[in-house]
Structure 1
Amino acid sequence: MTVDILVLGGAHIDRRGRIDDETAPGASNPGRWLEEPGGGGFNAARALARLGLSVAMISPRGGDGLGEQVAAAAQAAGVDDRPFVFLDRSTPSYTAILERDGNLVIGLADMDLYRMFSPRRLRIRAVRGAFSAAKLILVDANLPAETLEAIAVLAASLSKPLLGIGISPAKVVRYTGCLGKLDMLFLNGAEAAVLAGSRPDDPTEWPQLLRAKGLRGGVVTNGPGPVIAFDDSGDYALTPPALEKLADVTGAGDSLCAGVTSQRVHSAALPLALRHGVALAGLTLLSDKATAEDLTPDRLAARLALVGEPRALSSQPSALL
């Protein structure tokens, strides 16, 4: 059966502690605790499924109660969940402490199980069948570098578009060996700086720096500042509309990826896809969950009406200037 998008990457438990008052480092801080299924790939997969796309997800998981929570969340969102279950292992988790305004203080990733997703698992008949049946492949950097490289080779052999999520500055380097095979990589400024080797004073220089490293297309976020995007059609900047409030930054980048991917799977031009990404990220920033659980195509369309048109930074890709 054909699916729109095959996602390979993180599907685990997110735990977030929210500090109620001004953060006091090195001291006990009153706050609240939230636990929910998450992970870069999983957040994007759920958003895509809620938008009506057919989505399959492959990810390692432990044989424990946390793994059952992830499976239940996948089913509730309409994701075709196809995990590798290791009965004697614990499901990965990510624990974050957030300031009162929703910004991250520190995070701890217990992700050792993802090492079990080795390249040899791509030789499993069901996995290869999933690749053949998908229109587009989406990965995240929770997977080992050698697995990301093997996925890139397999996707290229099948002429499948391949998109990636950066996840973190520490993990984004796992794409180094396959940057040239990615059609698009979703990054924040810190992740982009690790790949580029420096951070430009002017964010509109991101396309030139990242193309120099072999990346053909990418999207770089800058908090409330302009989102920079590029592919072989050109370079673009889009400033997100102001938010009524900021509930939580968790998952916003994954949602931006989902919004863009929801259009790229249908070969939409980058400016239109970027508007959808910014709109969906805005809905997630307004939610206290890692995905907007009440997301529908109609809600996204209403938010899209608030998002302006991207500004073209050049008539030709910057690498050609």
Structure 2
Amino acid sequence: MVPQDSATVAVRNILTRLGKRSGLSSDRLRTTEIDVAPLLDLLVVRQHAHRAGIEREDAVLPVVRELARHLNPSSMLIVDAVLSLGLLRETTPPGVDLDRLYAPDLGERREYLAEHWQLLHESLCANPIPPAPSVRSLRGTQEWRAFTELAGLLANESVYGSGPAHTPSPPETVAAPPVRGIVTVFGDAVIDHIYRVDHVPPVGTSTPGNFEEHPGGKGLNRAVAAARLGLQVRLITAVGDDEAGRRVLDYLRAENVDTDLVKVVPYAPTPVTAVLITSTGAASNIGCKDDRIRLSTQDLRSPVIRAAISSSDAVLVTFEQPSAVIEQVMAAVRRLDSRPLLMVHPAPKVDLPQYLYQYLGVVDYLAGTSADLAAMVPEVHAGSTADNAQRLRALGVRSVCAIEDFQCTVWSDQVNVAIPPFPAALEDSPGAQAAFAAALVYRLVSTRRPAGEQDYVWATAAMVATQSFGDVPGAMPLATEIDRIVRLASEEH
């Protein structure tokens, strides 16, 4: 059923009225007495206007033209003729009179559509072709249904898709400078509400603390960490079309993270995570997330998403997204002849990880805490971290990294090694795992070889560099800071 929310209804009514006379145009939007503000304020219109550097009135027609192509053939032909969009001008089908189909008078456009219904559908290779309507039925039910479908797409379209209104420059055409690798991150972006306390209070008690608010999330943290190291990074995530979502996008852009593939969900709030950080640096999280703020398997079918994966040197996946989305990302990597490095970060509450087992053969690096690794083999009770790592290796994972308390233990095809922690002032840090992931990926795409012991040492040093309270992604280190920690430790020995 076509959605009937207030935005859809408002946009449908505007488009229906704009179809009269000569149809939809930027000049008509500027001069009409119709209140077109709801149409100009649509997210997809604002996004296209911003990216193209044009006025919103000039952005409406290309956006409408592109989304009209996503309708079924009958609805597409109806809105094309009524609004005089000119969709068939690009490849004129034999026998179609474009002058009549896009005539200045709406009545003539309707008559031609009704008279040549069969021919027009055949030109689109439609099958089956519904019975031809009368002009009267076109004016009523048929146009109402077609415009409702189009309005629903416009009102609920997110920031990316397959058309010019929201398609970034094709990733495969981006020329990466030497050493800088292209990294695509799938994970969450949120607003962190950070509470610094001496201890997490037991039930029925309270404790004093300090409060800060910053952009964060596992996906965002990893994207920022990788960008700080000089990698070319894009984040694929979802945020709300609200002030918090705009703040997240502005922060990512300021950190040189490509946001072209961030999905913006209309009428939904950007997720918030409450982070309780004790004086030792240990953190506990409370996630507050609207179910609408997530990627979907339909999103993963977008050509630009597939192109982003195939053009990457490395893909990082965190497990906040639905299992079906994680599965589809891993499947997309598996289908490629030339695969990017795939680094996966599981979570303690993995939804049916057994469905992912068939894809673990494409996972180059699986990194997480002992609890994260245990969640990947839930049928094994009370197994040691080493046992769980070997079980995951048997399922196909090339390298398993247990990272916690600023130290790392690795089981891999190349090395089996325990990297002791560097000298630290805190016991833990909320950004440690993100820094480890980014640092390891940096070393891998820079050297173009599997990770050796020194690469894990460098990534472990990156964790120590994040020791801080407050802004988690803001604590992500530069390469020079990691080098300094490694150098100081070597001098002590």
Q: TM over 0.5, yes or no?
A: yes
Q: Give the C-alpha shift of residue 140 in structure 1.
A: 0.9
Q: Does 1:209 align with 2:388?
A: no
Among candidates 394, 399, 412, match of residue 231 of structure 1: 412
Q: Which residue of 2 aligns with 1:32?
A: 210
Distance 2:404 2:464 in 1: 13
Residue segments in structure 2 that go unaligned for 5+ positions in a row: 1-173, 177-181
Distance 1:307 1:114 in 2: 43
Q: Does 1:81 align with 2:259?
A: yes
If asked which structure has higher relative contact order (CA below 8 Å, sep 6+), I would say 1
Q: Which residue of 1 aligns with 2:275?
A: 96
Q: Give the C-alpha shift of residue 99 in structure 1.
A: 2.7
TM-score of the superposed pair, with normalisation by structure 2: 0.57
The alignment partner of 2:360 has SS state of helix
Q: Give the C-alpha shift of residue 126 in structure 1.
A: 1.8
- Quickly say closer, same or farther: Cα 1:292–1:176, change in 2 above 3 A: farther
Q: Give the C-alpha shift of residue 95 in structure 1.
A: 1.3
**Alpha-carbon deviations, 1:129-177, whole Å to 9, x = none?**
22232111111111111111111111122222211122x3013755851
Q: Which residue of 1 aligns with 2:439?
A: 259
1:240 touches 1:307 (CA, 8 Å); kept in 2? no
Over the aligned positions, Cα root-mean-square deviation in angstroms equals: 2.4
- For these two proteins, the number of residue pairs brought into alignment is 303
1:148 touches 1:175 (CA, 8 Å); kept in 2? no
Distance 2:290 2:175 in 1: 30
Distance 1:230 1:305 in 2: 25
Distance 1:45 1:307 in 2: 27
The alignment partner of 2:465 has SS state of helix
Q: Does 1:280 align with 2:453?
A: no
Distance 1:299 1:13 in 2: 26
1:50 partner amino acid: R
The alignment partner of 2:320 has SS state of coil
2:277 partner amino acid: L
Q: Give the C-alpha shift of residue 106 in structure 1.
A: 5.0
Structure that is richer in strand per residue:
1
Distance 1:187 1:114 in 2: 24
Distance 2:284 2:459 in 1: 25
Distance 1:293 1:22 in 2: 23
Q: Give the C-alpha shift of residue 23 in structure 1.
A: 3.5
1:14 touches 1:37 (CA, 8 Å); kept in 2? yes
Q: Which residue of 2 aligns with 1:316?
A: none
Q: Does 1:113 align with 2:295?
A: no
1:63 touches 1:85 (CA, 8 Å); kept in 2? yes
Distance 1:109 1:155 in 2: 30
2:334 touches 2:362 (CA, 8 Å); kept in 1? yes
Distance 2:461 2:198 in 1: 28
The alignment partner of 1:151 has SS state of helix
Among candidates 350, 365, 370, match of residue 184 of structure 1: 365
**Alpha-carbon deviations, 1:185-226, whole Å to 9, x = none?**
11111111222334545x5445323324443322112325x4
Q: Trace 1:286-297 onto structure 2 (pairs within 5 A).
A: 286=468, 288-293=470-475, 295-297=477-479
Q: Does 1:164 align with 2:355?
A: no
Q: Does 1:270 align with 2:448?
A: no
Q: Which residue of 2 aligns with 1:48?
A: 226
Q: Give the C-alpha shift of residue 294 in structure 1.
A: 6.9
Residue segments in structure 1 that go unaligned for 5+ positions in a row: 309-321
2:472 partner amino acid: A
Q: Which residue of 2 aligns with 1:298?
A: 480
The alignment partner of 1:284 has SS state of coil
TM-score of the superposed pair, with normalisation by structure 1: 0.85
Among candidates 368, 386, 403, match of residue 221 of structure 1: 403
1:261 touches 1:273 (CA, 8 Å); kept in 2? no
Tell which structure's C-alpha radius of gyration is larger. Answer: 2
Q: Which residue of 1 aligns with 2:155?
A: none
Q: Which residue of 2 aligns with 1:63?
A: 241
Q: Which residue of 2 aligns with 1:250?
A: 430
Distance 1:129 1:169 in 2: 31
2:277 touches 2:284 (CA, 8 Å); kept in 1? yes
Distance 2:196 2:361 in 1: 39
- Quickly say closer, same or farther: Cα 1:301–1:111, change in 2 above 3 A: farther
The alignment partner of 2:313 has SS state of strand
**Alpha-carbon deviations, 1:253-291, whole Å to 9, x = none?**
111111111112233423232122111111112454313
Q: Give the C-alpha shift of residue 20 in structure 1.
A: 3.8
The alignment partner of 2:454 has SS state of helix
What percent identity do the matched residue pairs reach? 25
Q: Give the C-alpha shift of residue 63 in structure 1.
A: 0.1
Q: Which residue of 2 aligns with 1:139?
A: 317
1:141 touches 1:174 (CA, 8 Å); kept in 2? no
